[in-house]
């Protein structure tokens, strides 16, 4: 009887997990395998299996558009990372001051994240448009020489994207970091006050190091958003002016759908996969090292206790 | 103001409409070890936080070392504090934990090293100085936390349930160490706990708190032998005191057939009062065995439940219809249903007014 129940349980567990496994293996593993495979072929409009070695990669790194895209993602990624983390942290600190209407404010800050990047992109495109956006508004208030239209100039268009990205990402960063802040024992704060440590020093030397977990989570989330950024670019600039705001994901999609060059698109996609794999491997390695270290520390403490 | 290390004057603390502490007054002498004892929610930790300056008070004054520190920052009050969760800075080594506050305050490097060396010697944590808190056991962590208070070179130490997170054996060990530390340093110490054993063993004086009031302030012996009210009598002592409600008339306590002449009882007021009263008798003050003959009052009871605890045995009986606990020797051979002769010594009992619950 007991065994029968056990078997039934296991069966239902299998039924429950199989679709997930099919999706994971079918979509991710097989999909990635095909991507890598086609990157070594001379596939044009339709995928074929004529192997050409590293030719697509060679061509990729000679393409100005791709080089601009790579340069852009560095600018976009680093700026977004720094500012979203900084703003998110400041917002979280502000929210942690036992303010009123915390729930309402949190919803407001989280709202951009709930919105589609297409919508975010369109809204910011309007706001940065010289004809009816911020520049127009300020000029109509009397500052006739005011200039703020980054999207028009190829040299500054990427920073317009960064502004929209920060607006979109700060709220969720705040939510994650706020959870981290709340997880810190109130007695730590009391102890620091007794020690007479100024608040900003407590944040920098005690609290932020204690928040490594949530900062890491926020970091990964932003990083993923950076690597796959596509819709924001399409909605705001379409990669322009010229090729100035191309990003790797935009490049990949354009190669497949506009240039009918699947092979080169796949090569670009494979290159995009590399930093993701590297980050995941680093995180995994870090976890293994830190658990080992922790176990060793516990053993040592037990030995001396 | 001369002799008092810490003075709390008319302290009131409100959280919104709730009065947490009500007109509290407490004077603590130089070098005294005061324990604030009470069940959770009685305001003992709140009072400690007020003294530390971690909570802003609503009314009253706090003086430390002859200075009014009511509105001073915690760091400027000349106090060190030890917390229940240790509250060590997890990313810093033990040395970093001890010296971080001093560094921030701009104490010269040589002086910091001297103080850290001295504190770690007193607490025997020298071999641990370069470890992180995560590599320490609970007892070691709490020692480091005490060390962090020690290096501040202050006159007043505040302890907020420092041993509550430790297991029973470690707690007993560290309790003795805190007592030794007090003898060695002779600082004023204010110690919050809900553990009456800690309170009785450590304190010079105990303040028993309930609902934001101090119910009684006295030496452990006073608190145990002459509780000022029924709450204190009930709170202190394990197993707790037996209470029987009755009438006090002309120096005789009576409840139905039970009469206890209170000869030898030390009344709180000069003339023996009368009226409804409660008598309290500690289980360990009930006489059994051969000595019963010497007791002024003798009763015959029936054994109901026997709880052997090794060193002694707790026997549940009934007196005047009330449950009555008797503490007997661990070797006592008693069984359910057997008759038992017990003796009561009125001089060691406590009488409380039935209405005000104050000691008579």
Same domain assignment for residues B184 and B329: no
Q: Where are the alpha helices (DSSP H) in chain B?
A: 44-52, 94-104, 109-123, 138-150, 168-185, 196-202, 220-225, 230-235
Note the pLDDT tens digit of each residue in A41-55: 888 778 777 778 788
State the nearest Cα–Cα gap between A188 and chain B, in angstroms.
5
Q: Is B197 on the interface with A (CB under 8 A)?
A: no
ipTM: 0.82
**Cα gap A235→A117, rounded to integer Å:** 8
Q: Is A205 on the interface with B (CB under 8 A)?
A: yes
Judged by CB atoms closer than 8 Å, whether chains meet at A195 and B73 is answered as: no
Q: For residue B357, which of B218, B228, B212 has the smallest C-alpha distance?
A: B228
pLDDT of res. B226: 92
Establish if A5 belongs to a structural domain: no
Contact (CB<8Å) A305/B140 = yes
Displacement of CA B205 from its chain's centroid (Å): 8
Within-domain flag for A199: yes
Give the pLDDT confidence of A261-287 residue by residue, as tens digits. 888 888 888 888 888 888 888 888 888
CA-closest candidate to residue B44, choices B63, B24, B61: B24
Whether residue B112 sits in one domain with residue B34: yes
pLDDT tier at A12, thresholds 50, 70, 90:
confident
Same domain, B194 and B330: no
Q: Are B111 and B99 in contact (CB under 8 A)?
A: no
Contact B354, B278 (CB under 8 A): yes
Q: Are B216 and B130 part of one and the same domain?
A: yes
Whether chain A has a CB inside 8 Å of the CB on B52: the answer is yes
User: Range of A288's domain?
Assistant: 63-304
The partner residue sitting opposite A190, judged by closest CB among B83, B89, B100, is B83
Number of domains in chain B: 2
Q: Region A19-32: what's the mean pLDDT?
A: 86
The answer to whether residues B157 and B82 touch, using CB atoms and an 8 Å cutoff, is yes
pLDDT per residue over A116-134, tens digit each?
Answer: 888 888 888 888 887 888 8
Q: Given its phi and psi angles, is residue A78 left (phi above 0), alpha (psi -120 to 50 degrees) or beta?
A: alpha
Residue A3 domain flag = no
pLDDT recorded at residue A8: 61
Question: Domain check: are B227 and B271 in the same one?
Answer: no
> Distance (Å, rounded) from C-alpha A274 to C-alpha A227?
11
Contact B75 A205 (CB under 8 A): no
Q: How far is CA A234 from CA A117, A240, B179, in A?
A: 10, 9, 72
In a domain, B323, yes or no: yes
* Mean pLDDT (chain A, rounded): 83
Nearest residue in B to A201, CA atom: B104
In terms of domains, do B89 and B119 share one? yes
Calculate how close chain A gets to B185, using CA atoms only, in Å.
20
CATH number at residue B114: 3.40.50.300
Instruction: With respect to residue B171, please indicate whether it lies within any of the assigned structural domains.
Output: yes
Distance from CA of B115 to the nearest CA of A (A): 15
Residue that has been written with the tokens 């430390």 in this structure = B64
B136 CB within 8 Å of a chain A CB = yes
Nearest-by-Cβ selection for B81 from A194, A205, A300:
A194
| Interface membership of B101 toward A (CB under 8 Å) | yes
pLDDT tens per residue across span A149-205: 777 777 888 888 888 888 888 888 888 999 898 888 889 999 999 988 888 999 999
Instruction: Give the pairing of strands B297-302 and B339-344.
Output: antiparallel
In a domain? residue A285:
yes
Total domains present in chain A: 1
Residues whose CB falls within 8 Å of the CB of residue B130, separated by 6 or more in sequence, listed in order = B93, B94, B95
Residue A126 domain-assigned (yes or no): yes
Look at residue B146 and tell me if it is in a domain: yes
Q: Are residues B196 and B345 in the same domain?
A: no
Identify which of B88, B101, B152 has the shortest CB distance to residue A197. B101
Contact B100 A205 (CB under 8 A): yes
Facing B87 at nearest CB: one of A187, A297, A302: A187
Among residues B115, B114, B112, B117, which one has the least CA distance to residue B129?
B117
Interface check B37 vs A, CB under 8 A: no
**Do residues B113 and B209 both lie within one domain?**
yes
Instruction: Decide if A111 is inside a domain.
Output: yes
Q: Determine the Cα–Cα distance for residues B200 and A60; give it in Å rounded to an integer.
A: 80
**Same domain, yes or no, for B247 and B187?**
no
Cβ-nearest to A187 among B85, B91, B139: B85
Residues in chain A with CB shorter than 8 Å from the CB of B90 are 209-210
Q: Distance between CA atoms of B175 and B142, rounded to whole angstroms?
A: 11
* Chain B residues within 8 A of A300 when measuring between CB atoms: 135
Q: Which residue, of B231, B261, B279, is where some domain finishes?
A: B231
Q: Which domain, by its residues, includes B305?
A: 238-353
Q: Tell me, yes or no, whether B320 and B194 share the same domain.
A: no
pLDDT tier for residue A1 given thresholds of 50, 70 and 90: very low
B23, part of any domain: yes
Classify residue A98: in a domain, yes or no: yes
Q: Chain A contacts of B139, Cβ < 8 Å?
A: 305
Nearest to B79 among A194, A201, A302 (CB): A194
Q: Detail the DSSP E strand segments found in B227-338.
A: 242-249, 252-255, 258-261, 275-281, 297-302, 305-308, 312-319, 322-329
Residue B358 lies in a domain: no
Q: Provide the chain B residues 216-245 that lie in CB contact (below 8 A) with chain A.
A: none
Cβ-nearest to A190 among B54, B80, B149? B54
In a domain, A273, yes or no: yes
Pairwise CA distance, residues B218 & B227, whole Å:
9
How distant is the Cα of A106 from the closest Cα of chain B, in angstroms?
Answer: 25
For residue A193, the chain B residues in CB contact (below 8 A) are 53-54, 73-75
> CA of A195, closest CA in chain B: separation in Å?
5
Three-state DSSP at B160 gives strand
Residues of chain B below pLDDT 50: 1
> Residue B250 sits in a domain of what CATH number?
2.40.50.140
Domain final residue, candidates B205, B231, B257: B231
Which CATH number goes with the domain that contains A231?
1.10.3720.10
Domain co-membership, B209 together with B244: no
A54 near A40, Cβ under 8 Å? yes
Q: Which of B179, B210, B231 is the last residue of a domain?
A: B231
Tell which of A98, A195, A196 to mutate to test the B interface (max B CBs under 10 Å): A195
Q: Cα dist. B215→A149, B211, B236, B359 in Å?
A: 72, 9, 12, 12
Using a 10 angstrom Cβ sphere, with 0-12 exposed, 13-18 middle and 19 or more buried, the burial of residue A97 is exposed
The whole-number pLDDT of residue A106 equals 82
Identify which of B73, B83, B105 has the shortest CB distance to residue A191: B83
CB-hemisphere CA count at 13 Å for A304?
18
- Answer whether B83 sits within 8 Å of A206, measured CB to CB: no
In terms of domains, do B203 and B272 share one? Answer: no
CB proximity list for B207: less than 8 A, separation 6 or greater: B26, B34, B35, B36, B37, B214, B216, B217
Model confidence pLDDT, tens digit, residues A208-242: 988 888 888 888 888 888 887 888 888 888 777 87
- CA B319 distance to own-chain centroid: 30
- What is the structure's pLDDT at B274? 82
């Amino acid at each position: 009887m007991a065994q029968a129940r056990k078997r039934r349980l296991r069966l239902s567990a299998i039924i429950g997990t199989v679709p997930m496994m099919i999706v994971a293996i079918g979509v991710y593993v097989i999909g990635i395998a095909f991507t890598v495979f086609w990157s070594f072929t001379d596939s044009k409009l339709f995928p074929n299996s004529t192997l050409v070695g590293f030719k697509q990669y060679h061509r990729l790194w000679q393409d100005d558009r791709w080089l601009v895209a790579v340069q852009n993602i560095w600018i976009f990624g680093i700026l977004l990372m720094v500012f979203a983390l900084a703003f998110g942290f400041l917002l979280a600190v502000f929210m942690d001051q036992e303010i009123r209407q915390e729930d309402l404010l949190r919803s407001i800050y989280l709202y951009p994240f709930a919105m589609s990047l297409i919508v975010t992109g369109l809204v910011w495109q309007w706001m940065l448009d010289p004809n009816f956006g911020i520049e127009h508004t300020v000029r109509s208030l009397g500052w006739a020489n005011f200039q703020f239209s980054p999207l028009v100039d190829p040299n500054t268009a990427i920073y317009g994207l960064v502004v929209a990205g920060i607006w979109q990402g700060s709220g969720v960063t705040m939510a994650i970091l706020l959870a981290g802040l709340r997880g810190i024992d109130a007695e730590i704060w009391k102890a620091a006050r007794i020690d007479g440590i100024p608040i900003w020093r407590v944040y920098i030397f005690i609290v932020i190091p204690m928040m490594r977990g949530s900062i890491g989570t926020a970091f990964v989330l932003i990083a993923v958003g950076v690597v796959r950024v596509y819709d924001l670019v399409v909605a705001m600039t379409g990669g322009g002016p010229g090729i100035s705001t191309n990003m790797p994901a935009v490049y990949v999609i354009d190669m497949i759908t506009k240039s009918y060059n699947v092979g080169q698109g796949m090569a670009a996609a494979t290159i995009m996969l590399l930093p993701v794999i590297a980050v995941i491997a680093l995180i995994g390695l870090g976890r293994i090292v830190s658990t080992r270290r922790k176990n060793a520390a516990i053993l040592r403490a037990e030995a001396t206790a | 103001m001369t002799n008092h290390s810490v003075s709390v004057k008319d302290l009131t603390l409100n959280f919104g409409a709730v009065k947490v502490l009500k007109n509290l007054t407490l004077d603590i002498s130089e070098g005294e070890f005061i324990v604030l004892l009470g069940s959770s929610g009685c305001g003992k930790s709140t009072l400690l936080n007020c003294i530390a300056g971690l909570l802003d008070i609503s009314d009253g004054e706090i003086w430390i070392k002859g200075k009014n520190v009511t509105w001073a920052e915690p760091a400027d009050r000349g106090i060190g504090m030890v917390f229940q969760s240790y509250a060590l800075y997890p990313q810093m080594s033990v040395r970093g934990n001890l010296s971080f506050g001093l560094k921030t305050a701009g104490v010269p490097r040589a002086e910091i090293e001297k103080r850290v060396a001295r504190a770690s010697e007193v607490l025997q944590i020298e071999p641990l100085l370069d470890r992180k808190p995560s590599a320490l056991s609970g007892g070691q962590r709490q020692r480091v936390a005490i060390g962090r208070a020690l290096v501040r070179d202050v006159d007043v130490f505040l302890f907020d349930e420092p041993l509550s997170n430790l297991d029973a054996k470690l707690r007993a060990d560290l309790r003795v160490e805190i007592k030794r530390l007090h003898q060695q340093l002779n600082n004023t110490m204010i110690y919050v706990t809900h553990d009456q054993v800690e309170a009785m063993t450590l304190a010079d004086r105990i303040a028993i708190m309930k609902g934001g009031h101090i119910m009684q302030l006295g030496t452990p012996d006073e608190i145990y032998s002459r509780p000022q009210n029924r709450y204190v009598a009930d709170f202190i002592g394990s197993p707790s005191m037996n209470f029987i409600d009755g009438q006090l008339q002309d120096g005789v306590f009576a409840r139905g057939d039970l009469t206890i002449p209170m000869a030898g009882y030390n009344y709180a007021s000069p003339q023996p009062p009368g009226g409804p009263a409660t008598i309290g008798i500690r289980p360990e003050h009930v006489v059994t065995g051969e000595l019963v003959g010497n007791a002024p009052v003798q009763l015959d009871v029936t054994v109901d439940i026997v709880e052997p605890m090794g060193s002694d045995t707790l026997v549940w009986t009934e007196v005047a219809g009330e449950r009555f606990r008797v503490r007997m020797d661990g070797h006592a051979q008693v069984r359910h249903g057997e008759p038992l002769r017990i003796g009561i010594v009125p001089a060691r009992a406590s009488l409380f007014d039935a209405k005000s619950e104050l000691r008579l």
